[in-house]
A and B are shown apart, each in its own frame.
Chain A
Amino acid sequence: GDSVTQMEGPVTLSEEAFLTINCTYTATGYPSLFWYVQYPGEGLQLLLKATKADDKGSNKGFEATYRKETTSFHLEKGSVQVSDSAVYFCALSDKGGSQGNLIFGKGTKLSVKP
């Protein structure tokens, strides 16, 4: 079945460091791909999304490119801030599977130190 695999955390970085959180997926159809973020004490918030191959989603300095050839959707940010400390979830929604229902990775906890 469809699945999402993302790198294990926690990830600890210094402020202004470069961030990459890897995410790969398996899907039977043509999935849309998402990154959600969960700040402490809050719900999951959509960070960015991409709906087809080669699309790049971006928001708040984060970006991710839908790579069909490598079945990946890695999250990157050039210079992280302390306020980026949160748990990041990669997810997919597959037309061929559970339409509209999200399949998540385990989440990666990011801590950014001043």
Chain B
Amino acid sequence: EPEVTQTPSHQVTQMGQEVILRCVPISNHLYFYWYRQILGQKVEFLVSFYNNEISEKSEIFDDQFSVERPDGSNFTLKIRSTKLEDSAMYFCASSDQRGVADTQYFGPGTRLTVL
């Protein structure tokens, strides 16, 4: 069964450094998402992406964040200058449609630790 994959599974970085989290969505999907979960808190929506542009973003997704689909398979989240509070589990998801009831398929997550 097709699945969303994410790399790395765990990333440790120093405050102020740039990180790139990578995702490979399911191959025929067109809509892509990033979510994050700070330890002990809710899973929060960051950004959605369709047709090579951002379709929606939350207040969390400020100028330090960017997303890109550099080729036909990868979908990346870049954090330009990491802060301690960026430490969280980051989930990528994809779906083949974008209706309210359409299933989003999630990857296993990347745990980001900022020291």
Q: Is A88 an interface residue when CB atoms closer than 8 A count as contact?
A: no
Output the nearest chain B residue to A42 by Cβ-Cβ distance: B108
Q: How far is the CA of A58 from the CA of B68 in the complex (A)?
A: 36
Interface residues on chain A, size class: 20 to 34
Contact of A44 (CB < 8 Å), options: B91, B95, B98:
B91
- The answer to whether A43 and B31 have CB atoms under 8 Å apart is no
Interface residues contributed by chain B, number (CB under 8 Å): 31
Tell whether A98 pairs with B42 under 8 Å between CB atoms, given A43-B4, A43-B109. no
CB distance from B54 to the nearest CB of A (A): 12
Contact of A98 (CB < 8 Å), options: B31, B41, B45, B104:
B45
Q: How far is the CA of A107 from the CA of B102 in the complex (A)?
A: 21
| Residues of chain A with a CB closer than 8 A to B106's CB | 36, 43-45
- The answer to whether B100 and A93 have CB atoms under 8 Å apart is yes
Could you list which residues of chain B lie within 8 angstroms of chain A, going by C-beta atoms? 3-4, 6, 31, 33, 35, 37, 40-45, 48, 56, 58, 91, 93, 95, 98-109
